[in-house]
Homo-oligomer: A and B are copies of this chain.
């Protein structure tokens, strides 16, 4: 079985999250995940390098979309505006995965090693956004400052999103955090 089943990757990701939430991340093995998804361990490793990767495979899409969003910002947009457009675009990576994101956030919050990994992924997102800003002509240190501020707004918006009921979109939360940041800096 496995390679004949549709959406094995999606079922593996759902099975992994369910198990991490039910019995703990440390206690869950790849074998447990494969069994619940109804595939072999070999199939698991076709899609994920290890059990941690299940939680962080969305980071690539988020980063790619954020970089594209920065590049697509109007030529006249300032650095923080362009960086903000990037992280708002990045929200598309997660927009229709509220329950997944919420369960995942609980799993990460319960495990210091996963929290560290999350921080490092956010730092990588900041570096990618800064590089995209430099590509459109923003000099340093403006690029680094705007990128880190926008990623801080993304994190704050993301936390508000997963703490809520999901009716308000992630992009809306992130836009609100960006507006709050502007208000703070202008005050």
A residues near B, CB below 8 A?
A: 78-81, 116, 119-120, 123, 141-142, 144-146, 148-149, 152-153, 155-156, 159-160, 177, 180-182, 184-187
Contacts and interface: CB of A to CB of B under 8 A. Distances in A.
Contacts of A144: 152, 155-156
Give chain A's interface secondary structure class.
helix
Nearest to A187: B78
Nearest to A117: B116
Copy number in the complex reads: 2
12 contacts: A80-B187, A116-B116, A120-B120, A145-B181, A145-B184, A146-B184, A148-B152, A148-B155, A149-B152, A149-B185, A182-B185, A185-B186
A184 B149 contact: yes
A120 B160 CA distance: 22
Given A119-B123, A141-B177, 17 more contacts: A80-B184, A80-B185, A81-B187, A120-B120, A144-B155, A145-B153, A145-B156, A145-B181, A148-B148, A148-B149, A148-B152, A149-B149, A149-B184, A152-B152, A182-B186, A184-B185, A186-B186
Contacts of A180: 141-142, 145
Contacts of A149: 148-149, 152, 181, 184-185
Contacts of A153: 145
